[in-house]
């Protein structure tokens, strides 16, 4: 075997162990180079993390303002498109809704081409002259006024009534049992206040029957559940203070004024309740 066939020992390996050939160059220098690269990489990563932390952290006052701005924006969106709080200012919806009850109104049910349905309890803007000066004013406290703007406090200038008739319907009062009729179909209304002589406004002791013309396009006929004390559509055509027959003309409400449908009483706790559309309205026939 020639000298070329033998494995040459590593210059620093006195025993000539061929396993030493797996290392190239000076071992000490290679180790130093590897350690230095790792340290440099670690330092670079550390600086990057510290830089990111510095960019993300804001002073407490700035974070507070940012959070408040986001909360207000969300409140505006929720009020405009989803939910809004109101309070009951009068006895017109007793017994279901008591004075000062806090109610929630939802709006998605009336999105798009959908609108109020017979039997819905709705909140709508005053069509003009239906509310007294006090009820129309709303909150007077500056903080409450700001909160009402974003839907976090009940607002004034609105009415709460039940939808009785819609476009094309004819509403009349009353049959032999004192019931309101819609398109000739009498309504059984268990939600009404007790002690009523008839389910229409008690004009002249319920002796003055009345009937509307067809509800115009885009409008509705509404009544409070406490028929004896409600500023509603029937009150516009039947004034108990006037000893005359009821006359139709200005009793309808534009559906564009509707804010939304009442679906829950949330305060006080003793009044918690969910509102549903009464079954009696499902029997009302379509207008002729």
- C-beta neighbour count of 148 within 10 angstroms: 21
Distance of CA 66 to the CA centre of its chain: 24
Q: Is 161 a catalytic site residue?
A: yes
Cα dihedral sign for 204, 207, 213, 217? positive
Taking the C-alpha atoms of residue 172 and residue 210, their distance in angstroms, rounded to an integer, is: 6
CB 181 within 8 A of CB 175: yes
DSSP bridge pairs for 102: 87, 267
CB 240 within 8 A of CB 249: no
Q: Which of 90, 161, 230, 261 is catalytic?
A: 161
CB 261 within 8 A of CB 122: yes
Taking the C-alpha atoms of residue 220 and residue 93, their distance in angstroms, rounded to an integer, is: 18
Q: What angle do CA 36, 41, 42 make, to 5 degrees?
A: 100
Alpha helices in the chain (DSSP H): 27-56, 60-81, 133-137, 142-149, 233-237
Taking the C-alpha atoms of residue 177 and residue 262, their distance in angstroms, rounded to an integer, is: 29
Taking the C-alpha atoms of residue 102 and residue 81, their distance in angstroms, rounded to an integer, is: 19
Q: How far is CA 167 from CA 93, 163, 221, in A?
A: 23, 11, 9
Q: Is 90 a catalytic site residue?
A: no
Alpha helices in 14-59 (DSSP H): 27-56
DSSP 108: G
Q: Which of 79, 90, 92, 230 is catalytic?
A: 92
Tell me which residues are annotated as active site. Answer: 92, 161
């Amino acid at each position: 075997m020639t000298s070329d066939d033998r494995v040459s020992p590593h210059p620093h390996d006195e025993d000539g162990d061929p396993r030493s050939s797996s290392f190239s160059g000076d071992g000490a220098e290679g180790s130093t180079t590897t350690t230095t690269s790792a340290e440099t990489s670690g330092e670079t990563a550390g600086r990057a993390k510290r830089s990111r932390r510095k960019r993300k952290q804001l002073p407490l006052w700035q974070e507070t303002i940012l959070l408040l701005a986001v909360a207000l924006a969300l409140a505006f969106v929720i009020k405009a498109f989803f939910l809004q709080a109101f309070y009951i200012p009068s006895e017109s919806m007793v017994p279901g809704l008591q004075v000062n009850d806090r109610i929630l109104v939802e709006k998605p049910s009336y999105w798009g081409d959908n609108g109020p349905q017979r039997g819905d309890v709705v909140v709508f803007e005053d069509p003009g002259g239906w509310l007294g000066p006090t009820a129309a004013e709303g909150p007077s406290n500056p903080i409450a006024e700001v909160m009402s703007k974003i839907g976090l406090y009940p607002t004034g200038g609105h009415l709460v009534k039940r939808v009785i008739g819609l476009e094309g319907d004819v509403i009349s009062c009353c049959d032999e049992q004192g019931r309101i009729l819609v398109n000739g179909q009498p309504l059984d209304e268990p939600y009404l206040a007790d002690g009523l002589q008839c389910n229409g406004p008690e004009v002249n002791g319920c002796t003055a029957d009345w009937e509307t013309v067809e509800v115009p396009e885009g409008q509705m006929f509404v009544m409070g559940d406490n028929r004896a004390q409600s500023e509603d559509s029937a009150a516009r055509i039947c004034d108990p203070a006037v000893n005359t027959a009821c006359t139709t003309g200005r009793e309808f409400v534009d559906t564009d004024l509707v804010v939304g449908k009442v679906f829950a009483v949330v305060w006080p706790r003793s009044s918690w309740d969910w509102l549903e559309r009464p079954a009696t309205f499902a029997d009302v026939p379509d207008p002729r």
